[in-house]
């Protein structure tokens, strides 16, 4: 009850005029008829004119985690059942369904060109309902989801952001640190709402550049991408 009552204060604490805040759908519905979980893990966006950097402020943020297209199909349901997996690893959708700011875009080399993020998912601090409101104020880990047509793989742009009073700038080393924190919280066995998941990780080299060139906020990255394969089991 306290958090519900405090929700307007949370938004005000971000230095925003509530009249300018618009309630967007939690996710952008981009459903597909493709059969997920039946092809390869992913394909390199660069092979067909795409990029492993999304588009942000004229630069890019690294797509530093890929959830394999060989994961269980429900995990690859980016606009639906993926949320339960996100909850299992400590994340949820945005605070009370509010999104502030314009969506970022990625070109995954699947023939669609640059497309908007499917969702923004934030660290929930152990509270899957209201925890992302806390993250919106004090900062924390978060990621944007883009789904690759053809493989169904989910490409995540993961980073740790600072508190609202510093305009949610990315922390120093926030891209690599955000990736590593998410992987550490996901690998192994996790469960949420009766659904059990096993996640394995593989580090991929050569998909991203090393250093800070063309990276938003001029933050250097190590160039590694982690491929997660998530299996639902009894």
Q: Residue 89: which of 165, 154, 43 has the closest Cα?
A: 154
**Phi, psi angles (nearest 5°) of residue 142:** -160, 165
Q: What is the pLDDT of residue 38?
A: 67
3-state secondary structure 85-98: HHHHCCEEECHHHC
Q: How far is CA 110 from CA 42, 106, 127, in A?
A: 11, 11, 36
User: What percent of the chain has a predicted confidence (pLDDT) above 70?
Assistant: 78
Neighbouring CB atoms inside 10 A of 85's CB total 26
Residue 16 has pLDDT above 70, yes or no: no
Average pLDDT over residues 201-223: 96
Binned at pLDDT 50, 70 and 90, residue 102 comes out as confident
Average pLDDT over residues 6-33: 39
Residue 31 has pLDDT above 50, yes or no: no
pTM: 0.84
More reliable by pLDDT, 156 or 2: 156
**Phi, psi angles (nearest 5°) of residue 173:** 65, 20
Handedness of CA 6, 83, 199, 183 (dihedral sign): negative
Quote the mean pLDDT of the chain.
Answer: 83
């Amino acid at each position: 009850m306290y958090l519900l009552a405090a929700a307007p204060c949370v938004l005000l604490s971000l230095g925003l005029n509530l009249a300018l805040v618009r309630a967007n759908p939690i996710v952008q519905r981009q459903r597909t008829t493709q059969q997920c979980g039946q092809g390869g893990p992913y394909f390199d966006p660069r092979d067909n004119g795409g990029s492993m950097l999304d588009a942000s402020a004229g630069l890019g943020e690294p797509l530093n985690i890929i959830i394999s297209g060989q994961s269980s199909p429900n995990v690859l349901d980016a606009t639906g059942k993926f949320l339960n997996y996100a909850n299992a690893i400590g994340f949820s959708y945005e605070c009370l369904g509010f999104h502030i700011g314009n969506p970022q875009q990625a070109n995954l080399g699947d023939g669609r060109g640059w497309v908007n993020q499917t969702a923004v998912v934030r660290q929930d601090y152990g509270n899957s309902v209201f925890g992302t409101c806390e993250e919106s104020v004090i900062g924390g880990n978060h990621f944007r989801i883009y789904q690759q047509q053809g493989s169904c793989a989910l490409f995540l742009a993961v980073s740790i952001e600072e508190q609202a009073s510093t305009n949610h700038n990315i922390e120093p080393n926030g891209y690599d640190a955000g990736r590593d924190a998410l992987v550490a919280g996901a690998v192994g066995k996790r469960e949420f709402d009766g659904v059990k998941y096993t996640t394995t990780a593989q580090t991929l080299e050569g998909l991203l550049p090393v250093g800070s060139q063309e990276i938003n906020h001029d933050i250097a990255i190590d160039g590694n991408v982690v491929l997660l394969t998530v299996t639902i089991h009894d």
